Amino acid sequence: MTKPKTKILVLLTDGVSLRNFAYTNFYKYGEQNNFDIVFWNNTSFNLNDLGINQIELSNSRLHKYTTILKNVRKRIELNCYKKRFNDPIYLKYSFSLPFNGLKNSFKSLITKLLIFLFNSEKGLQLVRNQINKLESSTAYYQSCIALLESYKPDVVYCTSQRSALAIAPILAAKSLQIPTIGFIYSWDNLPKATVDVQTDFYHVWSKYMKNELLKYQPFVVDNQVQVTGTPQFEPHFKANNIVSKNTFYKHHDLNLNITYLCYSGDDVTTSPKDPLYLRDVALALRLLNLKGYNLGLIFRRCPVDVSKRYDVVIKEFNDIITPIAPIWKKEGHVWNTIFPTVQDSKLLATLAAHTAIVINLGSSMVFDYAIHKKPCMYMNYNYFNAEEKPEKGVYVYNYVHFRSKPSEEAVVWLNNPEEIAIKIENLLKAPERTIKAAQDWFNVINHELPENASNRILQNISKLLIKH
């Protein structure tokens, strides 16, 4: 008698989750291992085009007060972290509330009032409970109940713990006693108070992240958390994802006689003066070329930054800089309506394979390059003053997730523009120490054998369902 397939309904609400679970080995491995996987899809991408079964997440609309309460919950939680751990860095994760326009001003005033009234550990739980109560009262919740009763999955897998749109589907599954599993989707998420969705079980990247989840979320206990790694890095290990150097260079009109570095741009909030960093790196490469080097710079902008803020620098240094844009699809006018594509996963893997160094401000690209045994350099000065004069230090490196580094040598720190050229020259000559330290860091924040993450996730789902 054939064993019935385990039915997994994968809740997909955003572009990062699309990249992690639809563009990796997850679906293919599931099919090969007797899983019936269907994506409960709230993105604008038609996954049927990729040969993936999907059900549209219909009627997906938050309760009108949920967004305000989500904001309140996050800020109260960060206040609690500051007090609990005696560390003011947590307040840096709170962005200023908007007061432009009457509607925004009203919402922000209400947010401030509610924070004042519920600013405690007990108040935090009351706000969480109220969010769940509101989301359970919506037509959206009822449509989730109907879908789950019709489809009857064995488990609902939530691909992002920070998506408020996932709250109602997860609450609906719990009400029907369908097991739920949540994936913590990024290495920096837990200190930022981003657990909006409470599931029965959690999958995390590493032991380090498991300890973080238990530390920050007292309602989670040890046996609810399993270390699986993340599918995010799997595309780097698929040989057919990496285009040959000759083909890649020809397609992007690159010169085979030039050694290219990559400057990876950041978003405008994290790095408002990012074009000045790009300029400084281009200047350094121009100086090195005068010494007899043959170097170029590929500029990969942050996928959600569609501004023209780099245009002047790219034009000024067109002898050095070649922009290669991420292949993301724009569906709207805000960052979370710009989605990755399968082609971009291949482009990123190819870029890391065929460039010598990646340079950026605090990006996780350090790990993409560590996989390919390539080093990373971090910009460690700022232009936050009015005169746009470089000053050492960037506050983002005080963020909690950077404390996971086993060594400061995991990256080369660029502390001022004058030292960029010499540090690039030294790194090109001897990259091994930096690469080894970066790989050690990667092993802290992710599971060993990162290419097997999808398999581990599926195997763990099977084990949890046997026990449940």
In a shared domain, residues 77 and 46: no
Residues shown for the chain? 468
Number of domains in the chain: 3
Say whether both 91 and 199 belong to one domain.
no
Report the SS3 class of residue 279.
Answer: helix
Domain membership flag for residue 1? no
Instruction: Determine the angle formed by the axes of helices 207-216 and 432-445, rounding to 10 degrees.
Output: 50
How many CA atoms are closer than 13 Å to the CA of 467, on its beta-carbon side?
Answer: 10
- The pLDDT of residue 44 is 83
Quick one: 341 and 241 in the same domain? yes
**Is 397 domain-assigned?**
yes
Residue 389 placed within a domain: yes
Asked whether residue 458 falls in the same domain as residue 425, the answer is no
CATH number at residue 398: 3.40.50.2000
Whether 308 and 389 map to the same domain: the answer is: yes
Are residues 427 and 345 both part of a single domain?
yes
How does DSSP assign 183-211, residue by residue? E---TTSGGGT------SEEEESSHHHHH
Q: Which domain holds residue 363?
A: 237-445
Whether pTM exceeds 0.85: yes
Look up tokens 């004042």; give the residue: 116
Is the separation of the CB atoms in 261 and 295 below 8 Å? yes
Domain boundary among 134, 168, 187: 134
Per-position pLDDT tens, the chain of length 468 = 567 889 999 999 888 898 899 999 999 999 999 999 999 999 888 899 889 999 999 889 999 999 999 999 999 999 999 999 999 999 999 988 999 999 999 999 999 999 999 999 999 999 999 999 999 999 999 999 999 999 999 999 999 999 999 999 999 999 999 999 999 999 999 999 999 999 999 999 999 999 999 999 999 999 999 999 999 999 999 989 999 999 999 999 999 999 999 999 999 988 999 999 999 999 999 999 999 999 999 999 998 888 999 999 999 999 999 999 999 887 655 545 678 888 999 999 999 999 999 999 999 999 999 999 999 999 999 998 877 899 999 999 999 999 999 999 999 999 999 999 999 999 999 999 999 999 999 999 999 999 999 999 999 999 998 876
- Please give the distance of CA 446 from its chain centroid, rounded to a whole number: 13
* Last residue within a domain, chosen from 134, 157, 180: 134
Same domain flag for 258 and 353: yes
Does residue 226 form part of some domain? yes
